[in-house]
Structure 1
């Protein structure tokens, strides 16, 4: 059996070729991002997939209880754990340029090194536990996370982030999504 990931035959949907539902989604993405990311062009092949991603992503950003930098720690950690080069590059860019996550934290996550900030390290480690255990942390692992100053609702927010990143990471795997030029400097 091959170790290569299947490449889906569907093509990226360009704005000029999109149906009305796809066009609405792509125009919204362009307005929000100043461009239409390649990931969106792929996922919009099934508008329900893109809409579900968008809804979950925005709810995570709005309701997670995490700071913007903490959100990027979660999203970048999951992207790396899921071996998604596209999302790793995109969230590295967002972490540095939008969320103002400390550069040493971004690099520690990207390189698999220890994060010096205790609270962010706890968040990173617990996010990895949630991903590796498929949502089955031990009581000790959860206590360590909660003792760092996080809440049980934030455990649920990590689950939401996992769901959102599963949609984007797996879609990027199957499409072999090319990293956008805007994020290319952050490839691993």
Structure 2
């Protein structure tokens, strides 16, 4: 049940966005820039990292939707589960320091140091990868708090539909859908 009594029982982030179109457009533009524009990480990897950050933040809605989006974008379900449940042993070992970095940045940002960045670089990633890992962690700290602040949850059908929307039309497409409603 969402926290705002005027939201429907099975409210989604769309319902919140419809109430605040200017905020929705800004947040979706941020998500598009971080999650879909050129990056060292594939869109599927970025969605899986977002699912992991959301799991760390105990945000069931974002964890479910972004995990489904990663699968819809071509990542194996087991690979997404490994990232979220066993970040010390993902299928791609180059992600180990990336996941350690986003975990530290999520739980104790002031403790991130050059050694955490060096581990990512030593795994063969570029400095842009470090930036995008930070962008994903920061974006999902924001998104998770918006979702949790409104008490939004996803059942299986909502998670499947939301994951398909993120993988299909994506963030820019969702922004266009919302704009066309207004």
* TM-score, L = length of structure 1: 0.70
Q: Measured at CA, do residues 66 and 108 of structure 1 come closer, stay the same or move farther in structure 2, by a change above 3 Å?
A: same
Aligned to 1:87: 62
Q: 1:174 aligns with which of 149, 152, 173?
A: 149
Q: What CA distance in whole angstroms lies between the structure 2 residues aligned with 1:78 and 1:128?
A: 7
Aligned to 2:137: 162
Aligned to 1:96: 71
Aligned to 2:159: 183
Q: Does 1:141 align with 2:116?
A: yes
RMSD over aligned CA atoms reads 2.7
Q: Does 1:47 align with 2:43?
A: no
Q: What CA distance in whole angstroms lies between the structure 2 residues aligned with 1:118 and 1:90?
A: 24
Unaligned runs of 5+ in 2: 162-182
Unaligned runs of 5+ in 1: 1-5, 13-36
Range that drifts further, 65-74 or 175-184: 175-184
Larger relative contact order (C-alpha < 8 A, sep ≥ 6)?
A: 2
Q: What CA distance in whole angstroms lies between the structure 1 residues aligned with 2:19 and 2:141?
A: 17
Alignment: residue pair count: 156
User: Higher helix share goes to which structure?
Assistant: 2
Range that drifts further, 141-150 or 101-110: 101-110
The 8 Å contact of residues 102 and 133 in structure 2, kept in 1 or not, is answered as yes
